[in-house]
């Protein structure tokens, strides 16, 4: 069950952003990290709604991204691809347009998306889905999904799943309050759960988790943690092999099987994303300093000087004195400099008194 403050009580919400890190944070109740793999600007859109303890979201991105992380505690998550601009991988296995992706409670997400992605995600309490499956159909979803993460569906079954979910989100885009009534929410929630159970019963699923892959998971996690702990070092694949005491072949197999990328690709993406984050952080700091100092383009060239007033909340040298023909503001009052004659400042303005 997700925390109550993670739910969108107002219903449907839609968020646009141009930063992969911000996009990863936009999904409620999840802990995840996005590493952009493609070059160029990132744009993403997230549509999300909660129906009691059922989370539905539609995610659209324009760049290849390596997604890692966890959903909220106790959740079983399904991914339904609507459009794939290429081939993605989940746990190192290729994802196609007719593949239903799933992972259970405490299982970590390892998804490499294609350059263009449009996917609908469904997160539901695993225990509740299990109870419903046993009561309604005598079918235990959790037992069925043990060792399975990719469920191949026939084209007809996938079209039915995609069609219902796509229409649901298109309806919400046109009328965000369409699911506000509690009775409608219950009806839609039951329909989505029945859709998932039917898809699982129809899936031609084979176990997709190899028996010996636990070591690869551990190696990939150790490598990712080591890279994250040394963000300023120009690490190479050989550096990772030495630090983790792994052979190059083992490291290569671990990254390919778990993340769907090579260690070299991951290192390059990590460096580029680290640089992108540093530039973004520096730009935000510059914008904040500019805001705090009250800088106005061209003010200094026109004779403006800096002086701090006794009642200003900014630190010294953060106030600016305007040039002639400009209006100065301090302490909420106004005084004017017009030509060579100054109008007397109001008695409340200590800054104006000190410079007149």
DSSP for 268-302 reads HHHHHHHHHHHHHHHHHHHHHHHHHHT--TTTGGG
Domain count, the chain: 3
Residue 289 pLDDT class (50, 70, 90 cuts): low
Query: CA 129, CA 122: separation in Å to the nearest integer?
Result: 12
Higher pLDDT, 48 or 295: 48
Task: Quote the percentage of the chain above a pLDDT of 90.
Answer: 45
- Kindly state the average pLDDT of the residues 243-264: 88
Residues 33 and 165 in one domain: yes
Do 170 and 23 share a structural domain? Answer: yes
The whole-number pLDDT of residue 319 equals 41
Do 253 and 172 reside in the same domain of the chain? no
Q: Please indicate whether residue 73 or residue 180 has the higher confidence score (pLDDT).
A: 73
Domain stops at, among 202, 237, 272: 202
Q: Is residue 304 part of a domain?
A: no
Selected residue with higher pLDDT from 10 and 228? 228
pLDDT at 121 over 50: yes
- Phi and psi for 55 in degrees, rounded to 5? -105, 125
The residue out of 265, 292, 319 marking a domain boundary is 292
pLDDT of 313 over the 50 cut? no
Same domain, 62 and 168: yes
Q: What pLDDT band is residue 11 in, cutting at 50, 70 and 90?
A: confident
pLDDT of residue 212: 46
Kindly indicate the confidence band of residue 350, based on its pLDDT and cuts at 50, 70 and 90: very low
**Domain that includes residue 343, residue range:** 311-355
* Residue 209 burial (10 A CB sphere; 0-12, 13-18, 19+): middle
* Position 298 in a domain: no
- Please check whether residues 50 and 120 belong to one and the same domain: yes
**DSSP per-residue letters across 14-73:** EEEES-HHHHHHTSTT-EEEEEE-SSS---EEEEEEEETTEEEEEEEESS-EEEEEE-ST
- Residues 181, 272 within the same domain: no
**Are residues 75 and 43 located together in one domain of the fold?**
yes
Please check whether residue 117 lies inside any domain of the structure: yes
Q: How confident is the model at residue 284 (pLDDT cuts 50, 70, 90)?
A: low
Measured between alpha carbons, how far is 117 from 104 in angstroms, rounded to an integer? 22
The whole-number average pLDDT for the span 167-191 is 91
| Same-domain pairing of 286 and 322 | no
Residue 299 lies in a domain: no
Question: Do 93 and 17 fall into the same domain?
Answer: yes
pLDDT of 291 reads 59
Weakest mean pLDDT among 40-54, 104-118, 155-169, 227-241: 227-241
Element (H, E) at 128: helix 126-137
Percent of the chain with pLDDT over 70: 74
Residue 306 lies in a domain: no
Angstrom distance (rounded) from CA 269 to CA 39: 9
102 three-state secondary structure: strand
Q: Are residues 196 and 221 in the same domain?
A: no
pLDDT band at residue 50 using 50, 70 and 90 as cut-offs:
very high
Residue 278 in any domain: the answer is yes
Q: pLDDT at position 315, please?
A: 45
Residue 18 placed within a domain? yes
CATH, residue 68: 2.60.120.10
- Of the candidates 184, 63, 57, 209, the one whose C-alpha atom is nearest the C-alpha of residue 124 is 57
| Range among 19-33, 218-232, 267-281 with highest mean pLDDT value | 19-33
pLDDT in tens, 220-245: 889 989 998 998 888 988 889 999 99
pLDDT of residue 348: 46
Query: What's the confidence (pLDDT) of residue 137?
Result: 83
pLDDT at 329: 43
- The pLDDT score that the predictor gives to residue 302 is 46
Q: Check residue 221 and give its pLDDT.
A: 87
pLDDT tier, 167 (very low <50, low <70, confident <90, very high otherwise): very high
* 301 domain-assigned: no
pLDDT at 153 over 90: yes
Residue 27 in contact with residue 8, Cβ under 8 Å? no
> Do 130 and 265 share a domain, yes or no?
no
Q: Do residue 183 and residue 220 come from a single domain?
A: no
Mean pLDDT of the chain: 80
Per residue in 320-340, pLDDT (tens digit) is 444 443 444 444 444 443 444
Task: Provide mean pLDDT across the span 38-42.
Answer: 88
The reported pTM is 0.69
Give the chain's end-to-end CA distance (angstroms, integer). Answer: 65
The domain boundary, picked from 242, 257, 292, lies at 292
């Amino acid at each position: 069950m997700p925390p109550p403050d993670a739910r969108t009580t107002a219903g449907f919400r839609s968020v646009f952003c141009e930063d992969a890190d911000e996009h990863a944070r936009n999904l409620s109740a999840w802990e995840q990290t996005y590493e952009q793999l493609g070059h160029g600007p990132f744009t993403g859109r997230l549509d999300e709604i909660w129906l009691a303890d059922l989370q539905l979201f539609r995610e659209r991105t324009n760049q290849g991204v390596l997604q890692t992380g966890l959903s909220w505690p106790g959740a079983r998550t399904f991914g339904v691809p609507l459009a794939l601009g290429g081939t993605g991988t989940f746990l190192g296995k290729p994802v196609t347009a007719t593949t239903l992706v799933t992972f259970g409670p405490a299982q970590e997400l390892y998804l490499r998306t294609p350059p263009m992605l449009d996917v609908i995600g469904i997160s539901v309490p695993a225990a509740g889905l299990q109870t419903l499956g046993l009561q309604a159909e005598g079918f235990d979803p959790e037992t069925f999904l043990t060792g399975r993460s990719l469920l191949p569906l026939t084209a007809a079954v996938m079209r039915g799943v995609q069609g219902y979910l796509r229409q649901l989100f298109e309806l919400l885009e046109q009328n965000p309050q369409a699911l506000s009534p509690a009775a409608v929410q219950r009806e839609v929630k039951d329909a989505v759960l029945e859709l998932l159970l039917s898809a699982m019963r129809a899936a031609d699923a084979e176990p997709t988790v190899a028996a010996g892959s636990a070591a690869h998971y551990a190696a990939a996690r150790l490598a990712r943690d080591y890279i994250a702990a040394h963000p300023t070092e120009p690490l190479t694949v050989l550096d990772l092999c030495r630090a983790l005491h792994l052979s190059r072949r083992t490291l290569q197999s671990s990254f390919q099987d778990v993340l769907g990328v090579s260690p070299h690709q991951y290192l390059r993406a990590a460096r580029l994303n680290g640089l992108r984050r540093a530039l973004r952080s520096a730009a935000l700091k510059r914008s904040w300093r500019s805001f705090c100092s009250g800088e106005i383009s061209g003010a200094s060239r026109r004779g403006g000087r800096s002086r701090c007033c006794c009642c200003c909340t900014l630190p010294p040298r953060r106030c600016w004195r305007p040039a002639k023909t400009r209006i100065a503001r301090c302490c909420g009052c106004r005084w004017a400099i017009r030509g060579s004659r100054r109008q007397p400042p109001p008695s409340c303005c200590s800054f104006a008194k000190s410079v007149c």
